[in-house]
Structures are given as C-alpha cells and as structure tokens.
Amino acid sequence: MSTTEQAWNEVMKSTNAAYHFRGKNIVLECLQFGGNREFWDGFASEQDIRAYFKVCYRYAIDKIGFLHTHENIICAVIITEPNRRNLFVYYLPITEVWQEKIMSDDKSAAGNRLQLRAGYDMPMYRQREEIDEPLLSHSAFWKARGGLVSYSALQEDFFKEVSEKYGAKRGESFSLIKNTTLRQQERYGRYEGDLYDELYYDGF
C-alpha cells in the first residue's frame, strides 16, 4: 500500500501535470458525500447505501475528475458507523483549462517582468488549454467550474441530479449571496442586503 505522498506523485507523473509552488497552494482536496440519520433511514439495507455511494463516486468522477476520468483521484473511502456514513473522495485539483498572465517587456525595480495591462490599467490574461500538460492549481480548477459560485453550483447540481432522487431535503443556505447561485437565491428567498449578505462579527 502506497503512502499519500507516493500516490500524489504517481498522479502527477501519470497526468504529466505542472505545479508552481507558492507556499500555501492547496495540492490535495476532498469531496465528501453524506447525510443525516433521517436520510439513511430511508434505505432498506447497507447494500443499498453502498450502491448509493457508487452513484456518488460516478458523479464525483464526472465533476472533479480530470477529463471526467479517475486519473486525478488517489483514493475513495467509505465510513459506515451506526450514526455516520460518508464517502470521502480525495483528488488532486488538476485542470486542462486555466487563465495565464500575459507578460510585458517592462520590469519592476527588482528586475521581474511585469504583467501587461490594457485600458483602465486592467491586467491581461489569455486562456490556456493543455490536455497533455495540465496544471495542478486549486484556484484555476475551481475557476473553470464557476469561480465564486462553483461550490454552491456543485451542491445544487448534486442535489438535483442525485440526492433528491433518494429523498434528500435541502436546508436553508447561509452562504454569502455572492457565493450563491441564482437558483439557490430564488429557492431560499435570498437578496442583496439580507441577513447573510455580508460577513459580520457577533461581538467579543
């Protein structure tokens, strides 16, 4: 059995992914599938629950898998306890599409090349698409999936495509409205300036 580091290196090698170290980069992520006791009580047997997790795993491959495959997934773990059942899918955020800075010939005082800028001093980017040499990047990975609303969009899509069909119920959304999809805003009656629109501190 290989260690997590060995499995990580194997995925990097098999996908030929590039990685630009910056100190705080997220290089391994986990997608978790679960439910409350009421949800699990709706299944007739443990075999049915495992079949449900297989559906969840196929969903994960389609949504976070590199080119919709399992190539960037290092492992999937099912936990079954009396009051806790979860599927954890660990993967590398590898993307074949990302935005790349367009550099100018100008240099900073330290001698580093500066990013090219357009009207109103806006920094310029170009889109890269490299199937044979993808990029390991948490930010680029999620930008390719919707940016600020990527997590909410994934949750909403999973609810509609999978869990709702098994009797799951969705609770109220407490995400900042900028991180909430239009469908969620309509379903939860969210609006700009509501109670959860901005971060706040409840005293000290």
Say which DSSP state 147 is in: G
Provide mean pLDDT across the span 195-204.
53
What is the sign of the dihedral through the CA atoms of 135, 139, 140 and 145?
Answer: positive
- Among the residue ranges 9-23, 100-114, 187-201, the one predicted with the least confidence is 187-201
Between 46 and 199, whose confidence is greater? 46
Residue 53, pLDDT > 50, answer yes
Q: What is the mean pLDDT of the chain?
A: 87
Per cent of the chain over pLDDT 90 is 54
Contact by Cβ (8 Å): 159, 184: no
* CB-based contact 96:65 (threshold 8 Å): no
User: In angstroms, rounded to a whole number, what is the distance separating the alpha carbons of residues 31 and 185?
Assistant: 23
Q: For residue 144, is pLDDT > 50?
A: yes
Q: pTM here?
A: 0.79
Which residues sit opposite 113 in a β-bridge? Answer: 107
pLDDT in tens, 164-188: 999 988 766 556 666 677 776 666 6
Please name the residue that has the structure tokens 């098999």.
14
Percentage of the chain beyond pLDDT 70 is 85
Query: Which tens digits make up the pLDDT trace of 117-131?
Result: 988 889 898 999 999
The predicted structure's pLDDT at residue 56: 98
Q: Residue 70 above 80 pLDDT? A: yes
Please state the rounded mean pLDDT for residues 72-89.
92
| Position with higher pLDDT, 56 vs 37 | 56
With tokens 């698409």, the residue in question is 129
Question: Domain locations in the chain?
Answer: 4-96+140-154, 99-128
- Whether the per-residue pLDDT at 200 is higher than 90: the answer is no
Task: Please tell me the predicted confidence (pLDDT) of residue 51.
Answer: 96
Please compute the mean of the pLDDT values over residues 188-194 and round it to a whole number: 68
Q: Which residues fall within 8 angstroms of residue 141, CB to CB, at 6 or more apart?
A: 93, 94, 95
